[in-house]
Every structure is written in C-alpha cells, then in structure tokens.
Amino acid sequence: MFAYGLAVVLSLFCVFIGARFLLAPRASAAGYGVPVTPDGDTAYLTVKGLRDLSYGLLGLALIAFTDAEAVAWYMLIVALNPLGDTVNVLRHGGTKAVAFGIHFATALVILLDAALLFAH
C-alpha cells in the first residue's frame, strides 16, 4: 500500500509542478534551477508545465485504472524526466545542489517507488 501512496503523491506533485509552470513560469524556472532572463522567452516553461501536468495526470489515471505492474513501468519510464532535468540544470549553469538535491533525488525516489511497485 505504501508504494501506491507514494505513486499518488509523486503524481500529484507532478500535477502541482506542471500547473505552477503554467501559472507562474518565471518563479518556477528559478526553482527548477535554470532561471529565465527578464526579457527571455518562456516557451520552454510552457512545454515543461504541460509535460509535468500530463505526466501527473497520466500517473493518477494508471493508479486508478490499472495494476501495480503497469504503474511500476510508468514510474520506471517517467524517472527519465528528472534524470534529464539533472543534466539540463548542470549544462545550463544551475547549481549542483539543485541538480542533485532536487532533480536527481526525485529520480531516485521515483525509481524506488517503481521497485516497490514491481515487488508488490
């Protein structure tokens, strides 16, 4: 049951992050680790917001309508996003603390959840 609860929390967190990027893109970018200049284009922030929102909603749908193995595969695949975010932050001047403390740590929690769901 813990694995499902963690999957719900992670999916809701994705929904929250996605909505935040859509509603407050510049503040969200700063928290992400790659801020946008005041005159910079925020198109990538909309893409990130939509990506995270859809992944969160998909996760919730899978939790509601499929089994533990399907949710585990989803978590395993979705862990690629925070791993990519780690690299993105490092490549674009973000700090190692944000890259590893937020994004990489998130990937590890998602991978742990996948492992727990596979063992379910």
pLDDT in tens, 8-56: 999 999 999 999 999 999 999 999 999 888 888 888 899 999 999 999 9
- 7, exposed or middle or buried, with CB in 10 Å at 0-12, 13-18, 19+? buried
Q: What is the mean pLDDT of residues 44-69?
A: 96
pTM: 0.93
- Token pair, residue 29, equals 């970018």
Distance between CA 79 and CA 76 in Å, rounded?
Answer: 5
Mean model confidence pLDDT for the chain: 96
- Structural domain including 111 reads 2-119
> How many distinct structural domains can be found in the chain?
1
Condensed to tens digits (0 to 9), the pLDDT of residues 72-103 reads 999 999 999 999 999 999 999 999 999 999 99
Q: What pLDDT is recorded for position 99?
A: 97
Q: Which of residues 1 and 7 earns the better pLDDT score?
A: 7
- According to the model, what pLDDT value does residue 40 have? 82
44 in Cβ contact with 61 (< 8 Å): no
pLDDT given for residue 23 in this prediction: 96
Neighbours of 69 (CB within 10 A): 11
pLDDT at 37: 84
Q: Which of 84, 57, 73, 62 is nearest to 111 (CA)?
A: 73
